[in-house]
Amino acid sequence: MDKNKSEKLKEVLNKTLNTTDIEKKLHKERDILVQKREEDEKNKAQIKKENEIKEQNIDSKNKDKEELVPKKKIKDEKKDTGLNILIFLVSILAIILLVIAIYLFTKEPTTPVEIENTEKTIIQENLKIEKESFKKLYNSSKKETLKCYKFDNGKTSPNKECKEKVISFIEKNKNALRFEIIPVVGEDDNLIFKKIESSIKHLDKNLQLKVQEYMNRGLSRERVLETSWIFKDKLGEDVILTPTNYYVKSKKNNKGVIIKAYH
């Protein structure tokens, strides 16, 4: 190459590619490469993250399926167990009904007379027990006794002193099983009989004594009745008062009642 051509070539090169331009171009290309590399790494990281999320979702779904299978299995097993129990109970019921049916068909029919006799037997047994219990309570050996002789001559109601003694006795023995009131009649109680005695002198002596006896019985009954009202007032209508069919004729001219509380 001649000298002229060489110089022209240098001139052209100097114009198109000087040192500064080359450096700029190299820097630019390097920046492009670096940026591209960063983008590639960023894309790879994003893809990796997305893949991890997908894998986590897949694992979670698989886990839910695994948990769902045992639950379904347990539910099915419970369902089968309940069905087996129901079948067992139905079978037992069927057997019981069959036994009852066989018994009813093979048992000889009960006649009305047999039914009546059975009922009578049951009633008699119950009455026997009740009688024994009643005797045991009625004949109790444990008892408390009050003697109240402060009644006025021929009067049916107790005076204040006697009434207070009766009330105190009731409060002390309020848990007793039963109470018994026995009337006591004295000679001075025959007030009414003495008033009519002269009028019946013409009657037979035995008849006169009967009239006196009836008067004493009537007075005795009234004394028991009036005293019983005190018990009902303090213990209520449910109190058990057993009557007596006799009275005590006092030789000491006592007038009143004898009260017994049985425990």
Packing angle of the helix pair 205-235, 160-172 (nearest 10 deg): 50
Q: Among candidates 189, 181, 186, which has minimal Cα distance to 250? A: 186
Contact (CB, 8 A) for 260 and 169: no
Report field, pTM of the whole predicted structure over 0.75:
no
- Distance between CA atoms of residues 177 and 250, nearest Å: 28
Query: Each residue of 36-70: pLDDT tens digit?
Result: 777 878 877 788 888 778 777 776 666 655 555 55
Q: Among candidates 154, 145, 151, 226, which has minimal Cα distance to 188? A: 154
pLDDT of residue 120: 65
Q: Among candidates 150, 157, 141, 137, which has minimal Cα distance to 228? A: 157
**Residue 101 vs residue 249, higher pLDDT:** 249
Residue at 61: amino acid letter: K
**Beta-sheet strands, E only, within the chain:** 143-148, 178-185, 241-242, 248-249, 256-262
Mean pLDDT, the chain, rounded, equals: 78
- Among 56-60, 96-100, 216-220, which is the least confidently predicted range? 56-60
Q: Which residues contact 151 (CB under 8 A, 6 or more apart)?
A: 157, 158, 159, 162, 223, 255, 256, 257
CB neighbours (10 Å) of residue 225? 14
Contact (CB, 8 A) for 255 and 188: yes
Residue with the two structure tokens 């097993």: 77
The mean pLDDT value for 23-45 works out to 72
pLDDT of residue 168: 96
The CATH fold assigned to 142-262 is 60s Ribosomal Protein L30; Chain: A; (3.30.1330)
The two tokens of residue 78 are: 């419970």
Percent of the chain's residues with pLDDT above 70: 69
- Distance between CA atoms of residues 177 and 19, nearest Å: 138
Quickly state the pLDDT bin for 139 (edges 50, 70, 90).
confident
Every domain of the chain and the residues it spans:
17-107, 109-139, 142-262
Instruction: Give backbone dihedrals phi and psi of 224, rounded to 5 degrees, phi first.
Output: -65, -45
- Distance between CA atoms of residues 202 and 183, nearest Å: 31
Query: Each residue of 106-118: pLDDT tens digit?
Result: 766 556 665 566 6
